[in-house]
Amino acid sequence: MATGTSTRPGEAKHVPKHTPNKRKKGFFRRFWWVFVLVPVLVIATLAGSIYMAYARIDLPETLPPIRTSFLFDRNGVQLTSLHGDVDREIVGLNQISDNLEHAVLATEDAGFYEHPGIDVRGIISAAWTDLVKRDTVVGASTITQQLVKNVYAGQYIEHPNGAREYLTPPRTIKEKVREALLAIKVEQELTKDQILAKYLNTVYFGHGAYGAEAAARTYFDVHASELTVNQSAVLAAVLHAPSLYDPIKSKFDNKFRRDYTLDQMAGYGYIPQSEATRLKARPCCGIPASQKDASDRISSPAGSEYFVEWARSDLFERYGSARVYGGGLQITTTLDLKLQRMAEAAVDANLPDSDYNPDAALVTIDNATGEVLAMVGGRDWQESKLNLATLPCEGCGRQAGSAFKPFTLAAALDQGFALRGQYWSGPSTITIPDQRCAGPDGLWTPTNAGDSSAGTVDLYGATVNSVNTVYAQLVAALDGGPDDVVQMAHRLGIQSELPSVCSITLGSVQINPLEMANAYSTLASDGVYHRANPLLAVDRANGQPADRKVSSPSRPKFDTPDVPRAVTSALQGVVQGGTGSSAAIFPWPAAGKTGSAQDNVDAWFCGYTVQLSTCVWVGYPEEQRPLINVAGVPVVYGGTIPAAIWHDFMLEAMSYGQDEWGWEPTAFSTEFSLTGTEGAPTPVSSPAPSVSPSPSEEPSPSEEPSPSEEPSPTEEPSPTEEPSPTESPPP
C-alpha cells in the first residue's frame, strides 16, 4: 500500500510556509567595479603620460659632434691628441654600397623594413633584466633604436668655449622605454631609407671611424660606394663590438664574426650560399698594408709614443674606443716628461743607435702608487710599433734570467727556509734528482755562469752572487716545487701565464719589463701591491670628471712585511758587493738583481730605491741573438749595459725627485723577524771564512769583486745591524 499524501486532480499542492535566510553578496560581487575601474584608470593614466611624453619629444636636426680627446703628462704638458683618421663624412644612401646595407641588415636588424621601429620582445627582456635580475639593461635593439641612442636620446652639454658634447643616456629601463618612444617618433617622421642612411652615417666602426664613408676609407682606402661583399661583411662584423672584432688587431675574432655575417647574408637571400662559402674560405681581413697601422697618427714628445699607446689601450678598456676618439676627453696621465727624457738619454748614452747594436726597454714606477712615470719602449716609434716595455703580442716576452730569482727566494722564505745560517753546496754543475724537474732528455742538470763553483753559501750569498746550482736545489726543495714560484710571482704582480717548470727559478719563462718593474715595486713597498697604472684623471671637456684614478688600490700580499724585507736585504747585497755592484747610486740606498738569459740573448737589471722601482732590458727585438761585442762590451750581462742604464737614469731621477718632491736618501725597512730554519735537504757544514769562494753570474772582472773582497757568511751584518728606516714623502 502506498504511503504518504496525495492530492486530488485539480487540487493545488500544499507547500509549507517558511522564510528562507537571504544570502549576503560576496565582496567581489559588490565591489567588482573596483577591480575593473582601477586597472583601466592606471592604463589610461599611463597611456596618457606616454602620449604626452611622445608629443613633447623633439628630434634634433644635427648629428652629435665628434670631439678630439687630449692626453697630458702629469704636469699638464700635452702629449698628443686622439681622434679618427677620417672625420665623419655624411653621404646619401645611394653613395653607400648595397653590400654594406645588406650585411648590416642581416646581422643587426633583419626585420627592419617590417617592424614599427621597436623590438617589443627586447624591451620585455630588458625590463626583466632590470627589475628581476637587477642587472644592467642589455640590447636586442632595432636599428631605429640604436640610431635613437646614438643621436637623439642623449644629452647635449654646452661648454664654455661654445662646443657641444653629446652624452649617451644610461642603460636603465626608464631610458629604454624613452628610447622606444623616440624610435616610434622617428619612424613617424622619417622614411625607412632615411633612418638607415642616418644610422650608417653615425654608427661607430672602430679606429675613430664614424659612419660608412669614414670606415671604408680608414680600413680599405675606398669610398663607401665601392665596398665589396667581403669588405662589407668585415665592417658589419665590427659593429657588434668594435674593440673585440677589430679587423686590424683581432683578425681571428673578426673572421669569426665576418663568417657569421656572410652566412646571415646568404640566409636572408642577399647573396648565394656558394658565394658565402667561397668568401669564408678566404683569410681575414683584406686590409691593405698602408691602412694596417692605425697607430701611425700618434706623435708625442721625448719618445713617449710607446707610453701613449699603452695608455690608449687602457682607455679603450675603460671607456670604449668610440668615446676615446670622439668624446672630447681631457686625460692626465702618470707620465713625467722630464723623467721620460732622462730615461731616453740614459739608454742613448749606454747603447748608441746603430745598425748593429741591440735595443732596450725601461719602465719606472712610483712605489707608493703604482703610477708609471717613464717608459722607454724602443728606439723609434716610426720604425717599429712593438712596445718592448709591454710586449703585448703573444709569445713576445723575453727570458728574465736570474732577475727572476727573487720570486723563488720569496717563496722559500715564506715556507720557513733560512736566509742566513743554513748552507748549501754550490758546485759548478749539479743534477737535480727530483722527477718534477726532469725533461725529455732526462734529469735536469743546470750549471753556474762561467762554470764557476760557489763552494758553500747560504741563501743570502747565493742571491748576492747569483748561484744557479743553489737556486736549482731550492726550487726542488719547495713544498710545491715550481708551482710555489709561479704562485709567488703572480702574488707579487706578474700577470703573464707562467709554466710550472723547475727552470723558472733561473728565469727561463717569458716576461716583459713592465711586469718585472711592477713585481719589484711590490717588494720595495714591503709587499703592498699597486697595479701599474698610466692614468691620473679623465675629465670631460667642461672640466667635470668623467672618472678619476689617482692610484691603484693598495693590496697587501703578505700578513707581515718580513718576507719582502728579507728579500730586499739580499738584493741590497747584490748592489753593495755582488753581481750588480755597478748599479750603486750613492748616497741613495738601492736593491736590485741582474739577469742574463741562456746564451746571453737577454740581459736585465731590475732594482729599486724606497721611492722608485725601475727595470731595464737589453736585447735584439727581432731575434734571439747573443749580446756579444755591443758598444765596447765583449759580452753583455745584466751587470754591464743594463746596470749602467739603470744607474745613470736612477741617479738623475732620484736627484730630480729630491728637488721636485722632497725625496731624501732613505734606508730600507730591513728589520724583519723571520725564524726560518729550513736548509738544504743534505746538510752542508759552515765554510771557513778564508775559503768561501763565491761565483759570479757574470764573469766580467770589472763588475764582480774578487773572492777576497767578498764578505764571508760570518762577516755579513745581521739585519738588526742595518739602519732603521725613515719615511719619504710621496710624490
Do 262 and 367 belong to one domain?
Answer: no
> Which range scores top for mean pLDDT: 409-423, 545-559, 691-705?
409-423
**How would residue 604 be classed by pLDDT, with cut points 50, 70 and 90?**
very high
Whether 493 contacts 370, CB under 8 Å: no
Q: For the domain that residue 438 is a member of, what is the CATH number? A: 3.40.710.10
Angle of CA points 83, 87, 88, to nearest 5°: 120
Instruction: Please indicate, yes or no, whether residues 285 and 390 belong to a single structural domain of this protein.
Output: no
Q: What pLDDT does 320 receive? A: 82
Are 289 and 351 in a shared domain? no
Q: Are residues 287 and 375 in the same domain?
A: no
* pLDDT value at 131 more than 70: no
Residues 255 and 370 in one domain: no
In this predicted structure, the answer to whether residue 344 has a pLDDT above a threshold of 70 is yes
pLDDT score for 194? 92
Cell digits for 128?
626583466
Q: Which residues contact 28 (CB under 8 A, 6 or more apart)?
A: 35
In a domain, residue 456? The reply is yes
Domain shared by 423 and 568, yes or no: yes
177, burial (CB in 10 Å: exposed 0-12, middle 13-18, buried 19+): middle
Mapping DSSP onto H, E and C, the string for 127-138 reads HHHHHCCCCCCC
Mean pLDDT of 420-444: 91
Alpha carbon distance 585, 665 (integer Å): 10
Alpha carbons 308 and 378: distance in angstroms, whole number = 13
pLDDT digits (tens, 9 = 90+) for 533-550: 999 999 876 667 776 554
The mean per-residue pLDDT over the stretch 310-336 comes to 89
Q: Which of 15-19, 72-76, 149-153, 385-389 has the lowest mean pLDDT?
A: 15-19
Indicate the range of 62-71, 90-99, 459-468 predicted with least confidence.
62-71
**Does the pLDDT of residue 102 top 90, yes or no?**
yes
Of 613, 642, 621, the closest CA to residue 529 belongs to: 613
What cell numbers appear for 349 in the block? 748614452
Residue 281 and residue 417 in one domain: no
Instruction: Write the CATH number for 174.
Output: 1.10.3810.10
Q: What is the pLDDT of residues 605-641, one digit of tens each?
A: 999 999 999 999 999 988 889 999 998 899 999 999 9
pLDDT at 595 over 70: yes
CA–CA gap between residue 472 and residue 484 (Å, rounded): 14
> In sequence order, which residues have a C-beta less than 8 Å from that of residue 179 and are 6 or more positions away?
141, 145, 148, 149, 153, 169
Domain ends where: 294, 320, 355? 294
114, part of any domain: yes
Nearest Cα residue to 364 out of 646, 592, 111, 639:
646
Q: What tens digit of pLDDT does each residue of 278-320 get? A: 999 998 888 887 666 555 567 888 899 999 999 998 998 888 8
Percent of residues, the chain, with pLDDT higher than 90: 50
- Flag whether pLDDT at 574 surpasses 90: yes
Query: For 4-27, what is each residue's pLDDT tens digit?
Result: 444 455 455 554 555 455 555 565
Which pLDDT score is estimated for 350?
95
Integer Cα distance of 402 and 596 in angstroms: 6
Q: Is residue 305 part of a domain?
A: no
Using CA atoms, how far apart are residues 535 and 371, in angstroms rounded to an integer? 8
Quote the domain boundaries for residue 98: 84-294
pLDDT, residue 86, reads 64
CA max distance for the chain:
148
Place of cell 739580499: 570
> Of all residues in the chain, what percent carry a pLDDT higher than 70?
76
Residue 675 scores a pLDDT above 80: no
Residue 307 lies in a domain: no
| φ, ψ for residue 131, nearest 5 deg | -85, -35
DSSP string, 13-53: PP-----PPPPPPPHHHHSHHHHHHHHHHHHHHHHHHHHHH
In the predicted model, is pLDDT for residue 698 greater than 70? no
Residue 170's pLDDT is what? 67
Of 173-177, 253-257, 578-582, which gets the smallest average pLDDT? 173-177
Q: What 3-state DSSP class applies to 619?
A: strand
* Residue 186, pLDDT above cutoff 80: yes
The more confidently predicted of residues 354 and 350 is 350
pLDDT at 720 over 60: no
Looking at the 3D structure of the chain, how many domains does it have? 2
Last residue of a domain, one of 294, 323, 356: 294
Whole-number pLDDT of residue 164: 59
The whole-angstrom separation of Cα 46 and Cα 321 is 39
550 exposed, middle or buried (CB, 10 Å; 0-12, 13-18, 19+)?
Answer: exposed
In a domain, 49, yes or no: no
Burial class (CB within 10 angstroms; exposed 0-12, middle 13-18, buried 19+) of 474: buried
Q: How far is CA 157 from CA 29, 166, 234, 331, 718, in A?
A: 57, 6, 34, 19, 64
Comparing 8 with 452, the larger pLDDT belongs to 452
| Neighbour tally for 226: CB within 10 Å | 12
Give the per-residue pLDDT at 46. 59
Query: Does 336 fall in a domain?
Result: no
**Residue 728 scores a pLDDT above 60:** no
CB 215 within 8 A of CB 231: no
Q: What pLDDT, on the 0 to 100 scale, is given for residue 680?
A: 82
Mean pLDDT confidence for 198-213: 89
pLDDT confidence tier of residue 34, bands split at 50, 70 and 90: low
> Is 153 a member of any domain?
yes
State mean pLDDT over 408-434: 93
Q: Average the pLDDT over 148-176 and give the result.
A: 68
Last residue of a domain, one of 277, 294, 311: 294
Any domain includes 19? no
Q: How confident is the model at residue 161 (pLDDT cuts 50, 70, 90)?
A: low
pLDDT digits (tens, 9 = 90+) for 454-471: 789 999 999 999 999 999
Q: In terms of domains, do 290 and 196 share one? A: yes
Closest by CA to 613, choosing from 638, 573, 583, is: 583
C-alpha cell at 113: 623594413
Q: Are residues 384 and 448 in the same domain?
A: yes
Same domain, 431 and 284: no
